[in-house]
């Protein structure tokens, strides 16, 4: 086992390169392909940076950004678990915890402990920082889906009710200021997809 702290860190940084090959359900906005978890992690960190004014006043945005940068690294070992998939949450939690221990365990002890704690905080979704991070992690794919004519939702025959149920509580709890627009955009999407010729009062982002 490597004990030079610099080499340990560089090894970790090499290992997580594989996140660039973990493919998520959501498309990129030009619909040329699906998004990978590395670029998703960058995008949600940008969401945090840009949308900090809509967080509760006790949120530390720098911690949220760090949390979002690392929130998906376990996927290097276990892959992405789709929100509309059917895997058992307990099984998934067990595998992701194993992966977190292995990956952060590559690092010097103190740094490993710090990042593992930050990852657990995100997973547990109790602190204000984690709740805001979790909300952003739902808002980004929701907007990708409404911006691409349904994206994942269309493919998986997801209904408006399922969207409101699967995204709603997390977004409403962690970032209430954004839930109304997310809800409205989702409703508009399903109204259009049911009646493709109807013109709606669109909340277009352009």
According to DSSP, the β-strands at 23-27 and 34-36 are: antiparallel
Contact in structure between 95 and 78 (CB atoms under 8 Å): yes
Binding partner of 160, given Ca ion, a second copy, none, CB within 5-8 angstroms per partner class: none
Interaction of residue 109 with a second copy, rule CB under 8 A = no
3 state DSSP class of 159: coil
Two structure tokens written together for 81 = 């678990």
Between CA 168 and CA 148 the distance in angstroms is 20
Binding site for Ca ion (CB under 5 A): 72
Residues 6+ apart with CB under 8 A from 149: 189, 193
Sole window of 77-85, 88-96, 143-151, 193-201 interacting with a second copy (rule: CB under 8 A): 143-151
Each residue 166-205 as x (binds a second copy by CB under 8 A) or -, in order, gives: -----------xx--x---------------------x-x
Taking the least distance from each CB to a second copy, the nearer of 21 and 87 is 21
Contact in structure between 49 and 137 (CB atoms under 8 Å): no
Two structure tokens written together for 153 = 């939702």
> φ, ψ for residue 175 (rounded to 5)?
-150, 65
Least distance in angstroms from the C-beta of 172 to Ca ion:
20
Between CA 90 and CA 73 the distance in angstroms is 19
3 state DSSP class of 47: helix
Sole window of 47-55, 95-103, 159-167, 192-200 interacting with a second copy (rule: CB under 8 A): 47-55
Binding partner of 113, given a second copy, Ca ion, none, CB within 5-8 angstroms per partner class: none
Taking the least distance from each CB to a second copy, the nearer of 93 and 109 is 109
Binding partner of 120, given a second copy, Ca ion, none, CB within 5-8 angstroms per partner class: none
Least distance in angstroms from the C-beta of 94 to a second copy:
25
Taking the least distance from each CB to a second copy, the nearer of 6 and 194 is 6
Residue 23, beta-bridge partner list:
36
Between CA 50 and CA 59 the distance in angstroms is 14
Judged by the rule CB under 8 A, the positions of this chain that interact with a second copy are 2, 5-7, 9-14, 16-21, 28-30, 32, 35-36, 38-39, 41-43, 45-47, 49-51, 53-54, 62, 65-66, 69-70, 107, 111, 140, 143-144, 147, 177-178, 181, 203, 205-206
């Amino acid at each position: 086992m490597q004990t030079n702290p610099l080499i340990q860190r560089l090894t970790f940084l090499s290992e997580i390169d594989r996140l660039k090959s973990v493919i998520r359900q959501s498309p990129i906005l030009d619909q040329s392909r699906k998004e990978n978890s590395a670029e998703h992690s960058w995008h949600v960190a940008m969401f945090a940076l840009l949308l900090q004014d809509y967080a509760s006043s006790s949120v530390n945005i720098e911690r949220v950004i760090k949390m979002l940068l690392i929130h998906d690294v376990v996927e290097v070992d276990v892959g992405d678990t789709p929100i509309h998939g059917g895997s058992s949450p307990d099984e998934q939690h067990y595998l992701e915890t194993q992966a977190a221990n292995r990956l952060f365990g590559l690092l010097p002890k103190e740094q490993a402990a710090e990042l593992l704690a930050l990852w657990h905080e995100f997973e547990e979704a109790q602190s204000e920082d984690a709740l805001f991070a979790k909300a952003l992690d739902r808002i980004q794919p929701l907007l990708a889906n409404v911006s691409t004519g349904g994206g994942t939702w269309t493919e998986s025959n997801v209904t408006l009710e399922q969207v409101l149920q699967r995204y709603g509580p997390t977004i409403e709890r962690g970032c209430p200021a954004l839930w109304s627009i997310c809800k409205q955009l989702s409703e508009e999407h399903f109204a259009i997809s049911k009646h493709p010729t109807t013109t709606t009062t669109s909340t277009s982002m352009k």
